[in-house]
Amino acid sequence: MVVDGFDKTEPLGVALGMTKEDTISYIPFFVNKYLKEQVSVVVKNADDEMVAVQLCSIESRHQQQSDDLYAKLKPTAKALRVLEFLVHMENDIWSLVPPDVNHILKLQITYVRPDYTGRGIAKQMSSMRMDTARKLGCQGISTTSTNAITQHLRLKEGYQPLKTVMYEDWKDSEGNVIFRMKDASDRAILTFKRF
Ligand SMILES: CC(C)(COP(=O)(O)OP(=O)(O)OC[C@H]1O[C@@H](n2cnc3c(N)ncnc32)[C@H](O)[C@@H]1OP(=O)(O)O)[C@@H](O)C(=O)NCCC(=O)NCCS
Question: pLDDT confidence of 62, banded at 50, 70, 90?
Answer: confident
Phi-psi region of 129 (alpha: psi -120 to 50; beta: other; left: phi over 0): left
**Residue 41 belongs to what domain range?**
2-194
- Which stretches of 20-174 are assigned E, i.e. beta strand? 41-44, 50-60, 103-112, 140-145, 160-166
Atom of ligand 1 nearest to the CA of 119: 11
Q: What is the pLDDT of residue 72?
A: 77
Cβ(59) – ligand 1 distance below 6 Å:
no
How many CA atoms, within 13 angstroms, populate the side-chain half-sphere of residue 74? Answer: 2
Question: Residue 111: which pLDDT band, with cuts at 50, 70 and 90?
Answer: very high
- H or E stretch at 194: strand 187-194
**Is the per-residue pLDDT at 73 higher than 90?**
no
Tens digits of residue pLDDT in 18-57: 999 999 999 999 999 999 999 999 999 999 999 999 999 9
Tell me the pLDDT band of 89, cut-offs 50, 70 and 90: very high
Q: Is the CB–ligand 1 distance for residue 107 below 6 Å? A: no
The number of residues making up the chain comes to 195
Q: According to the model, what pLDDT value does residue 87 have?
A: 94
d(CA 85, CA 61): 21
Write the residue with the smallest CA distance to atom 48 of ligand 1: 145
Contacts of 67 (CB under 8 A, 6+ apart): none
Q: Taking 80 as the threshold, does the pLDDT of residue 80 lie above it?
A: yes
Tell me what the mean pLDDT of segment 86-104 comes to: 97
Q: Which of 117, 113, 88 is closest to 178 using CA atoms?
A: 88
> Residue 109 has what pLDDT?
96
Give the DSSP letter of residue 91. T
Gap between the Cα atoms of 141 and 121, Å rounded: 18
Instruction: State which of 43, 53, 149 you would mutate to test the pocket of ligand 1, scoring each by most atoms of that ligand within 8 A of its C-beta.
Output: 149
**Confidence at residue 67, expressed as pLDDT on a 0 to 100 scale:** 61
The Cα–Cα gap between 117 and 9 comes to: 11
| CATH label of the domain that carries residue 33 | 3.40.630.30
Could you tell me where the DSSP H helices lie in 59-143? 69-73, 77-90, 93-96, 121-126, 130-135
pTM summary value: 0.94
Q: What is the mean pLDDT of the chain?
A: 94
**Helix H or strand E encompassing 138:** none
Ligand 1 in reach of 171 Cβ (< 6 A): no
Calculate mean pLDDT across residues 113-138: 95
Mean pLDDT of 50-75: 84
Q: What's the 100 CA to ligand 1 centre distance in angstroms?
A: 32
User: How many domains, in total, are found in the chain?
Assistant: 1
